[in-house]
Amino acid sequence: MYVAVKGGERAIDNAHAFLAEERRGDPAVPDLSVAQIREQMALAVNRVMTEGSLYDPDLAALAIKQARGDLIEAIFLIRAYRTTLPRLGYSTPVDTGKMATTRRISATYKDLPGGQILGPTFDYTHRLIDFALAAEGDAPPAPQASPLGDVPRVTGFLDREGLIEEEPASDATPGDLTREPMELPADRALRLQALTRGDEGFILSLAYSSQRGFGRTHPFVGELRIGEVAVEMDISELGVAIEIGEITVTECETVNQFTGSKTQPPQFTRGYGLVFGQTERKAISMSLVDRALRWKELGEDDTGAPVQDQEFVLMHADNIQATGFLEHIKLPHYVDFQSELELVRRLRAGMTEAAE
């Protein structure tokens, strides 16, 4: 019986073999290819890339396969891999104004330059199980539109009129919470990084809580755009920026309640979200949480809402930290439990003695 705790190494090896077998499932069913996951589970791939902070659809797809579809486990695999990669350089900021958009909608204007482009969205699908998908079969090709030119940003229209707070461009190097320990209060760039990496469910719920009145943000989706942007790097030897590739991103800019004072005319304010791939729920949630966290700089009241509490939001958004700490309570704790047992027994004995 007591020998049961011995042989930890063999137990681990056997557990891993069992896991591999379960991961594969019934060998009579064909093995999933990484390409199939990348192409047909693209939104899962996007989430893993966003919260894993690494743009590599093939690797994300492989991680999903290895993790048996557990996306947080897949994100963990990506993060642990990413941290070992050397930093060869830093790109210049991507210009989402030059995005090749596949989807672009604004809730603030009926029509606008560049137009409303629904793109590949679930928005107006009726959520009826499509039993036809259970049978093999390709979808008919969708109609093709001619490619769009540059699509100007909605906040740009408001900016021109001075109706929205200015967001001047800055050459300051943003912090990086994967290289520096988080220091509170964190500036906006660092908060945005934490929110992009943060758990989609957590950010969604925080955003929802703000809509329901816990730290009200009063948002309009000024614009949601999805598409490809060029990633460029400055090559100091050449003195020019060269394009090293293209990535798909989702960007959300919200237009929020205005601020103003006797001296300052009223202006709308902004919330911002940017994530890898088509991950629009996350991008919208992020922009609401971003806006809510800005209460202090915009002179708003602290209503004590969770979404306004920077430390609460930033310290609990990361699902890899959260799941690790949560699940560590599975590890043996019998030393601590023993010390508690001993204390409780002693306190009880003391009470019995006192009663006698």
- The helix or strand, by DSSP H or E, that contains position 94, with its residue range, turns out to be none
- Of 212 and 345, the one with the shorter C-beta distance to other proteins is 345
- Of 152 and 350, the one with the shorter C-beta distance to other proteins is 350
Look up residue 321 and give its two tokens. 């930290």
Please check whether residue 164 is in contact with residue 177, taking contact to mean a CB–CB distance below 8 angstroms: no
- Of 118 and 341, the one with the shorter C-beta distance to other proteins is 341
How far is it, in rounded angstroms, from Cα 119 to Cα 103?
4
- Of 3 and 133, the one with the shorter C-beta distance to other proteins is 3
Q: What minimum distance in Å lies between the beta carbon of 45 and other proteins?
A: 19
Q: What minimum distance in Å lies between the beta carbon of 52 and other proteins?
A: 10
Look up residue 281 and give its two tokens. 């729920």
Look up residue 86 and give its two tokens. 């050397």
- Of 11 and 17, the one with the shorter C-beta distance to other proteins is 11
Q: What minimum distance in Å lies between the beta carbon of 160 and other proteins?
A: 39
How far is it, in rounded angstroms, from Cα 288 to Cα 203?
9
Q: What minimum distance in Å lies between the beta carbon of 181 and other proteins?
A: 4
Please check whether residue 100 is in contact with residue 228, taking contact to mean a CB–CB distance below 8 angstroms: yes
Q: What minimum distance in Å lies between the beta carbon of 223 and other proteins?
A: 33
- Of 73 and 228, the one with the shorter C-beta distance to other proteins is 73
- Interface residues with other proteins (CB under 8 A) are 1-3, 5-9, 11-12, 76, 79-80, 82-84, 86, 178-185, 311, 315, 320-321, 323-328, 331-336, 338-343, 346-347, 350
Q: What minimum distance in Å lies between the beta carbon of 347 and other proteins?
A: 6
Please check whether residue 150 is in contact with residue 187, taking contact to mean a CB–CB distance below 8 angstroms: no
Q: What minimum distance in Å lies between the beta carbon of 298 and other proteins?
A: 20
**Collapsing DSSP states into helix, strand and coil, what is residue 153?**
coil
Q: What minimum distance in Å lies between the beta carbon of 316 and other proteins?
A: 11
Q: What is the DSSP letter of 25?
A: -
CB-side neighbour CA atoms (13 Å) of 335: 2
**Collapsing DSSP states into helix, strand and coil, what is residue 338?**
helix
Using CA of residue 155, residue 156, residue 160, residue 166, what is the dihedral sign? Answer: positive
Please enumerate in sequence order all residues whose Cβ is within 8 A of that of 286, keeping only pairs 6 or more positions apart, or say none: 192, 195, 196, 198, 203, 207, 252, 272, 273, 274, 275
How far is it, in rounded angstroms, from Cα 138 to Cα 50?
29
Amino acid (one-letter) located at 210? S
Q: What minimum distance in Å lies between the beta carbon of 53 and other proteins?
A: 9
- Of 11 and 20, the one with the shorter C-beta distance to other proteins is 11
The closest of 66, 71, 62, 76 to 20, measured between CA atoms, is 66
- Of 147 and 332, the one with the shorter C-beta distance to other proteins is 332
- Of 68 and 212, the one with the shorter C-beta distance to other proteins is 68
DSSP class per residue in 51-120: HHT---HHHHHHHHHHTTT-HHHHHHHHHHHHTTS-----BPPP-GGG-EEEEEE-SS-SS-TT--B--S
